[in-house]
Structure 1
Amino acid sequence: MIKRSLLVLLGFFCLQATQAQFLKKLSKKLESTTANNNSNSNSSGGSLAALTESDAGSAIKEALAKGVASGIAKLNKKDGFFGSDVYKLLLPADAVKIGNTLRAIGLGSQVDKAILQINRSAEKAVGYAAPIFVNAIKQMTLTDAVNLVKGGNTSATDFFKNKTTDSLKAAFSPVIRKTLDSTSATRYYSDIVTSYNKLPTTFNKVNPDLQDYVTTMAVNALFDQIAKEEVAIRANPAARTTDLLKKVFGAK
């Protein structure tokens, strides 16, 4: 009884400490072990049924945050987009005809400059994405946390994407606009659109929305990186770099 009382007090004081959540869980584990000496000892895996909603929610958010950090690190650098076989941005679909036409008449260098600066703007813009994504992650509820842990390889990413894409694009769009201007992507893109629209054979004048295109592609690239990180955390124990990730995603 004395030992049990001490453990209860330990749990109370742990709530006041910086590592409150971790120590509280530790205290509960110790109480459980004392009350039932025949129970199975805790492991880095454990049972999904034994996971608390708090554990699951925290792990989901941690996995998403880890994916955001990884994605930004890979994309927010020179050639993060331009040098990538997966993420390199070409001209918007509505502007492909512009590029092909200008190349055919010897103005390919204009098209190349526009494409390069469009990618440079995306590379620069994703560096400002962290607080936008982190804020969105913090606002996620715990309601579906356990189901997300038990879900498919990218269930957390898909849930996050479905819930936040529109708001993220709205927040990210002004950043894209500034980077498009600062990298001269807007000017180079306007040059090729103007050159195309001046051609005597051009009947339908075009001016695709570059800001929306780059915003959509940049956000999609980050979600793709988050998904890859989630898959790794679920499938590869080495990718579970914290005790919480090991506990939750290692559960059977």
Structure 2
Amino acid sequence: MSCPILAGGPGAGMRGGALIAGSSQSVSERMRRILATVAPGLELAVVSTQAEAHFLLAARAFRVMLVGMDGPDGDGAALIRHVRQTCPQIEAIAMSETDDAGLVGSAIAAGAVGYLLTEADDAELAFLLRSIERGGAPVDPRVARRILGLLAASAQQPTPTAVEPLPAMGKPARGKPLLSPRELKVLRLIAQGWSTRQIAEAVSLSVNTIEFHAKNIFRKLCVKSRTQAVHQATQQGLFN
């Protein structure tokens, strides 16, 4: 099943509309209301089953999709995987009520580029969603801490000697650091869940400059989101 393609590349924000596949009708309606405030005039659609989601994904072009991890049909991770495989241009953002380790881990593994906690208030959710317009990834700070914990636990597990580490993705030339000191500092703050504006204020640079550094980091690590960048950097030992 093919997916309609929108013009524009990464950082195109929410142009093209958003699809909401919430875990409940109340969550879906709340996210619809918040998105309507964040991006007035944005085309919004809500589905309650994976079959409805598959139909709309094949029939209409979307830029963003919010997916409840415990729905629709009780398996948000399966829907995120479907989106990544059939409509890779769509930014799939997971959401759940709490930062459950199992849900967070399955969302990241499925390919989510952001994670929202619906227990947050409307203002906080709206702030995170606005980062999409700047090409950012909306990740609740509590989820960011959870992700770092999962990555730390994974890094402590022994690696079989017969298995080669992930090689080519962003591998630097011999003797040359992959990331510059400035890029590494920005990435460390990203890993702590800081927003682009917070990072800019902390290092006394403009928001545009921080976004430029972030794009360079994504390019060098061969990733498309903040979550993936932190994961890849941890895998390569860049934070050591």
TM-score (ref. length: structure 1): 0.24
More strand by share: 2
Higher relative contact order (CA 8 A, sep 6+): 1
Structure ID, larger Rg:
1
- TM (normalized to structure 2)? 0.25
Q: Which structure has the highest helix share of the two?
A: 1
